[in-house]
């Protein structure tokens, strides 16, 4: 897999990670790694895929105090192992670095696990029945939340409206998100609480209150910033509810082989992560990208927060546009399936109205060693953010940094690109933070929305990698499943959820896809010196797989099956094998933070 053109990046900024996406070979982490009071862990009889270009494979590895001490063969690993070590015989199975989800919404995903899920309902009657059942289980006055619906695969893909659910939710306000979170369905009670009716309000900047073209009556569909008009009426969650959401999310992530996440959420979620940190309950490393309107107001608090190998503020999140499914992604040309009422519709502009202010905000946070991470899905939104980053990086070079060098700036999603935008990711040193399962999902309607030609540079994994860009993979959970191996399948095969081939010229190899979930994902958050590879001196997060992703038919790659280790401690086992890992002197499962 190619690395970025470092000469171009250094010429432009003069301060972005001069060694690219590979840590110094002699790097050893500071004392942030978790001490293991139970001694060494030796893994033998393994086929280790390291994600490390300096040493691509090994058969044994030694972990001490949460760090890889040795990676090589069994004889040399045993020679460095202390007495009383735990020994795992991997039985010839594949071992890979722990997988990193480069873009999700961690606590929201954990909360969604217990909310109404409409993701797989097949048609309108099933949709209405699922809402009715949830309403019968919900006390009067309590909000019904969740959703994640999508109608594109239904026999009749007509969008829902409030009339679908008003009759079955007579006593409960309801707000049900579309799959991508950029549109939502509100019932009459919820609209009334927000003061949305025939007479107003006007659409907020960056949002749309959908209305019947004949009557002006709101349909119940709200898009992007308009969703907040209703969402702010929902009572705030308690600390207990938020803590439970985090616990559920961590368990779910570990069971899918995920050991670190880049979560996009409000500043208040840091308190939830801190509480888990203090309880010694974290089983997942967390990198937060703070999603707040005024970034500069949070720089001081983000810098003051205790940063370690478990919880760290890595950057700040903003939105440039909406989504393809909601037809709110900002495109250079009109959508192919626009209605007669608005033939020139190109999507919504959310954070591009004042480009000077956005550039200034990017400069300020990068000077303080934080990375901007801006959501851009439409081709024109991506082009505009690349221009913003180019200008901001030059200004940072000219003014200097008050901290260390920042992580690389990121574009979240980078789904639909103009051909001329692709080489700019590498030239400017911008991470393409992408979600391959979205390709499988959006393939059902992308050509209808934007036409065949624009799809050729959609989900441009192959083109970006060949251009030398850093491509990092994530899920956007709870928008879609966080299972990284479903993402690998989508990136490698180009198969849609309905098993059709979509833009196969952008397919990549299994090896490249796993690099995007490991080494490149670590690079995307400035963790290249500590995570993402099985290399001596790096933090010991790894998986023992019950299948071989490198030899199986890529179309048959399914969800993670195996064991998940964080800091050398097993945090999850999801296995279909009848031959479990043989462990000598294993002392039982513990949270990786126990003993601190």
pLDDT tier at 153, thresholds 50, 70, 90: confident
Query: Once rounded to an integer, what is the mean pLDDT over residues 320-329?
Result: 92
Q: What's the rounded Cα separation, in Å, for the pair 127 and 515?
A: 39
- Residue pair 182/225 in contact by the 8 Å Cβ criterion: no
> Is the C-alpha dihedral spanning 504, 505, 510, 514 positive or negative?
negative
pTM (two decimals): 0.86
Question: Is-contact 557 488, C-beta < 8 A?
Answer: yes
For the stretch 257-271, pLDDT in tens is 999 999 999 999 999
Using alpha carbons, list the distances in angstroms from residue 507 to 168, 176, 188, 250, 381: 44, 33, 45, 30, 24
Mean pLDDT (whole number) for 19-43: 52
Query: d(Cα 499, Cα 574) in Å, to the nearest integer?
Result: 26
- Phi and psi torsions of 391, nearest 5°: -65, -45
d(CA 519, CA 513): 10
> Residue 215 has which token pair?
């009557």
Residue 10 has pLDDT above 80, yes or no: no
The predicted structure's pLDDT at residue 569: 95
Query: So what's the pLDDT on residue 353?
Result: 61
Q: How far apart are CA 381 and CA 351, in angstroms?
A: 9
Q: How far apart are CA 278 and CA 294, in angstroms?
A: 29
Q: How far is it, in rounded angstroms, from Cα 175 to Cα 195?
A: 15
For the chain, how big is the Rg over CA atoms in Å? 24
User: Which of 428-442, 558-572, 582-596 is least confident?
Assistant: 582-596
Give the pLDDT confidence score for residue 444 in this predicted structure.
87
**Residues 63 and 43: beta-carbon distance below 8 Å:** yes
Whole-number Å distance between alpha carbons of 419 and 423: 8
Provide CB contacts within 8 A for 552, sequence distance 6+. Answer: none
Confidence of residue 14 (pLDDT cuts 50, 70, 90): very low
The pLDDT of residue 223 is 93
CA nearest to 531, candidates 52, 15, 1: 52
Taking 80 as the threshold, does the pLDDT of residue 38 lie above it?
Answer: no
pLDDT-based confidence at residue 584 (cuts at 50, 70, 90): low
State both tokens at 53: 């270009």
User: Which of 410, 545, 419, 416 lies closest to 473, judged by CA?
Assistant: 410
User: What pLDDT does 20 receive?
Assistant: 47
């Amino acid at each position: 897999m190619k690395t970025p053109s470092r000469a171009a990046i250094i010429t432009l900024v003069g301060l972005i990670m001069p060694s690219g996406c590979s840590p110094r070979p002699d790097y050893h982490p500071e004392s942030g790694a978790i001490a293991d009071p139970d001694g060494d862990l030796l893994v033998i009889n393994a086929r280790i895929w390291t994600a490390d270009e300096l040493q691509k494979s090994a058969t044994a590895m030694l972990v001490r105090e949460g760090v890889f001490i040795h990676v090589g063969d069994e004889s040399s690993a045993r020679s460095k192992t202390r007495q009383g070590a735990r020994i795992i015989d991997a039985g010839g199975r594949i071992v890979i670095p722990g997988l990193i989800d480069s873009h999700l919404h961690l606590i929201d995903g954990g909360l969604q696990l217990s909310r109404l899920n409409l993701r797989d309902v097949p048609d309108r009657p099933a949709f209405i029945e699922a809402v009715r059942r949830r309403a019968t289980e919900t006390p009067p006055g309590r909000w019904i939340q969740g959703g994640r619906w999508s109608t594109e695969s239904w026999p009749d893909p007509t969008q829902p409206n409030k009339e679908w659910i008003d009759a079955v939710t007579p006593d409960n306000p309801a707000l049900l998100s579309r799959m991508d979170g950029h549109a939502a369905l509100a019932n009459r009670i919820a609209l009334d609480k927000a003061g949305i009716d025939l007479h107003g309000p006007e659409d907020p900047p960056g949002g749309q209150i959908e209305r019947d073209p004949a009557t002006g009556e709101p349909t119940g569909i709200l898009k992007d910033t308009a969703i907040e008009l209703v969402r702010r009426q929902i009572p705030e969650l308690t600390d207990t509810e938020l803590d439970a959401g985090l616990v559920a999310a961590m368990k779910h992530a570990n069971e899918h082989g995920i050991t670190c996440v880049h979560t996009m959420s409000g500043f208040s979620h840091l308190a939830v992560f801190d509480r888990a940190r203090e309880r010694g309950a974290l089983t997942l490393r967390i990198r937060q990208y703070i999603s707040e309107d005024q970034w500069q107001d949070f720089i001081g608090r983000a810098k003051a927060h205790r940063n370690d190998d478990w919880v760290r503020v890595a950057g700040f999140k903003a939105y440039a546009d909406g989504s393809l499914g909601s037809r709110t992604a900002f495109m250079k040309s009109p959508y192919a399936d626009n209605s007669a009422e608005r033939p020139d519709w190109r999507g919504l502009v959310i954070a591009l109205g004042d480009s000077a202010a956005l550039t200034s905000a990017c400069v300020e946070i990068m000077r303080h060693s934080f990375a901007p991470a801006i959501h851009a899905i439409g081709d024109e939104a991506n082009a505009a953010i690349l221009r913003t980053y180019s200008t901001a990086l030059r200004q940072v070079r000219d003014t200097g940094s008050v901290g260390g060098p920042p992580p690389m700036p990121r574009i979240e999603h980078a789904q639909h690109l103009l051909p001329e935008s692709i080489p700019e990711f590498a030239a400017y040193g911008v991470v393409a933070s992408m979600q391959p399962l979205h390709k499988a999902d959006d393939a059902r309607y992308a050509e209808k929305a934007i036409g065949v030609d624009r799809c050729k540079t959609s989900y441009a994994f192959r083109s970006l990698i060949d251009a030398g860009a850093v491509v990092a993979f994530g899920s956007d959970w709870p928008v879609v499943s966080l299972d990284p191996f479903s993402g690998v399948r989508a990136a490698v095969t180009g198969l849609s959820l309905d098993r059709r081939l979509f833009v196969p010229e952008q397919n990549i190899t299994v090896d490249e896809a796993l690099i995007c979930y490991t080494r490149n994902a670590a690079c995307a958050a400035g963790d290249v010196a500590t995570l993402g590879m099985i290399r001596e001196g790096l933090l010991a997060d790894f998986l023992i797989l019950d299948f071989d992703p490198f030899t199986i038919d890529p179309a048959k790659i399914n969800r993670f099956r195996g064991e998940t280790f964080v800091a050398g401690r097993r945090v999850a086992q999801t296995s279909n094998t009848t031959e479990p890992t043989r462990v000598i002197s294993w002392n039982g499962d513990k949270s990786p933070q126990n003993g601190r």
